[in-house]
Amino acid sequence: AQKVTQAQTEISVVEKEDVTLDCVYETRDTTYYLFWYKQPPSGELVFLIRRNSFDEQNEISGRYSWNFQKSTSSFNFTITASQVVDSAVYFCALSEGFRGGSQGNLIFGKGTKLSVKP
């Protein structure tokens, strides 16, 4: 069975601090995708990143970076120099991968609420 665990329920930091959100997943699929989404109070899930199971390269996008380690089944997300606008709930998700690059439905973790205080 597929499962995503986000052990941190809430994190509070002061602006400009670095913060890492943890994600651990379980799957028996050999091909799968991992995601991070941001959910501001408006409710919409904002896509941040998709990573396939064959690509363990870390990725950096501006102040965001992701560390994917298959050996520990983890896909952690780091925000550098956090800002108040980063305050939101962040979800890690997993889906099965199919031939041609399509994906199955998303299995979400319970989310981590990040509060960045000025």
Token representation of residue 66 = 């992701």
Q: Is 50 a binder of another protein (CB under 8 A)?
A: yes
Indicate which single residue of 1, 44, 85, 99 sits in contact with another protein (rule: CB under 8 A).
44
50 versus 63: smaller Cβ distance to another protein: 50
Q: Is 24 a binder of another protein (CB under 8 A)?
A: no
Q: Is 42 a binder of another protein (CB under 8 A)?
A: yes
Stretch that binds another protein, among 18-26, 51-59, 74-82, 100-108 (CB under 8 A): 100-108
Please state the φ and ψ torsions of residue 100, each to the nearest 5 degrees.
95, 0
Q: For residues 68 and 112, what is the distance between their CA atoms, to the nearest angstrom?
A: 18
Stretch that binds another protein, among 18-26, 41-49, 67-75, 76-84 (CB under 8 A): 41-49
Give the max Cα distance, the chain.
Answer: 46
Q: CA 32 from chain center: how many Å?
A: 14
- How many C-beta atoms surround the C-beta of residue 17 within 10 A? 13
Q: Cβ distance 48 to 38 under 8 Å?
A: yes
Residues binding another protein (CB under 8 A)? 4, 37, 42-47, 50, 91, 93, 95, 98, 101-111
